[in-house]
Each structure stands twice: as C-alpha cells, then as structure tokens.
Amino acid sequence: MRIRLDIAYDGTHFRGWARQPGLRTVQETLESALARVIGGDPRLVVAGRTDAGVHATGQVAHVDLDDAQQARMLARHARAGAGPQTADDRAAALAARISGVVGAYSDVAVPRSLIAPAGFDARFSAVWRRYEYRIGDAITGYDPLERHRTTAVRAPLDVEAMDAAARALVGLHDFAAYCKPREEATTIRTLLEFDWHRDDVGVLVANVKADAFCHSMVRALVGACVAVGEGRLDVDDVVDIRDGRERVPEVKVLAARGLTLTEVGYPADELLAQRAEQTRARRDRE
C-alpha cells in the first residue's frame, strides 16, 4: 500500500529535508514518527528536497507499507475504537497518528494522508513545483514575528522593476548562471511563472513556479531581482547573465529563511504512471 503524505514544516531548526548522520532533518523526524506508528523501517520519497532553513506548506511525499505495517495500522485503528472503517479511513487517520507523535506544537506537521492513486510517485510524477519568497525592505520595516520566514533587505526595493526582471526570465532556458553546479547534472529548466508583488503589509512576495529547480536556483533568481530592485542591475542584465550561463558575483544567493515550498502539481490520476516513467527516463539520460 502506497500512502501519500502532505507535509508542512518550519525549516528554521532543520538541516534540510534529507537524512544526514547526526543531524536533525525533516525526513529523519517524520520517518522516526512513522516507525513508532506502523513499525518497521519506513522510507519517505519526497517531491523536492529542501535545503537547510527552507520551509514548506505544500510538500508531498509517499511511503510504501508492507503487509506487517498495514496490519499494525489497522490494529491501532481498531484499538482506538473507531469501528468498521475502510482502508481510506485508516490511511487518513495516519496523519493524526504522526501528529500525535511529533507533538501539538512541533515544527513539522502532516495535515493529510491518503492512499495514493495507482502509478503515483511523489517525486517522479510531479509536473511542477511552486515556491514563495518573502522580503521585508526599508519600505516595509522589520517585523520580528516574521523573522523566520522573511528575509530583511535594508534598501528600499523597486517592486515593479523586480517584477519586470522576473517575467523576463520565464521560459525554457539553461539556468546554469543561477544554479549551484553539480557534476553531470543538467541546469536546463522550464521556468513557468516568476513574478513579484507587495502583500497587504508591504512585504515583497515572489511567486516562482517551474517544472523542477536545480540547487539554489530560486534563491539566486531572487538575488538577481533584488539587485534590480536596488538599481545595481537592470532587466537586460539579468537576461544576459542567464544567457551567459556562468555564475557572476553581482548575483547573490539570498538566505534560506525567506523561501517556502507552497505547492506541488501532479497530472490527472490516469497519467501519473506515464509521467513518472517519462521523468525517470529523462533523469537517467541526464
């Protein structure tokens, strides 16, 4: 049985998603909670690994339960006095069980769990990911209650110029200039949406959506836009940097604290397996 988990977390005190020896990570925390609930050695497959300090409100993962784990999940449900329930009901209750283990005020939560549709793979079936980046500038001022999810920039920023720069970068391109290089990994991505606005209290908010992201891509793109907002670069410059395909010192990778994974998109259920197969094949070629 494959279970889909929808996950949210404050990344401030995590060293990223992926397990690392001796370090507190989101994956390790959730897998440990799952082991207490269903036993065995559960392993999560995630839609997108986030770096240390990055948050999520719309992360997605899946876990495969063997017969023994399914039986334990059923037994726990029966002991709770829930009465006759469907498999979907028992899968849905798993989120509450995990929440009970991590605690009421934990920095990670599982708002929803359900039996995954046939062919679903949290990582390979995804067709896009969406992130949000928040900046408080000299116009906004500093709000200490938002310090864990908002990056502070002391200068006043021109949001209209930043929005123009962001929109100029949209499309299928090689984003090597905005990625931390990894040996033999492609940096070609389709940036589907990139725009900026100020919210009701004046915080600058970036909406960034792509088929996939290479390492540090969102924070580098945001850094380029901040340089435009400060007047250090113009719109043509950020496009020229992209097309030059080399990292430049004018583009700073901004802090992780302002970045949140907000949504992962999947195709219709009948296309999930096909999408996963296509993505795996492409990754193998890369």
Catalytic residues: 51
Nearest Cα residue to 189 out of 206, 166, 209, 167:
209
List CB contacts of 83: < 8 A, sequence separation 6 or more: none
Long-range contacts of 67-76 (CB under 8 A, 24+ apart): 68/39, 68/40, 69/38, 69/39, 69/40, 69/42, 70/1, 70/38, 72/37, 72/38, 72/39, 73/37, 73/38, 76/37, 76/38
Q: Position of tokens 């940097």?
A: 241
Count other Cβ atoms within 10 Å, centred on residue 137: 23
Three-state SS sequence of 34-52: HHHHHCCCCCCEECCCCCC
Chain position carrying tokens 């864990």: 148
**Do residues 165 and 220 make contact, with C-beta atoms less than 8 angstroms apart?**
no
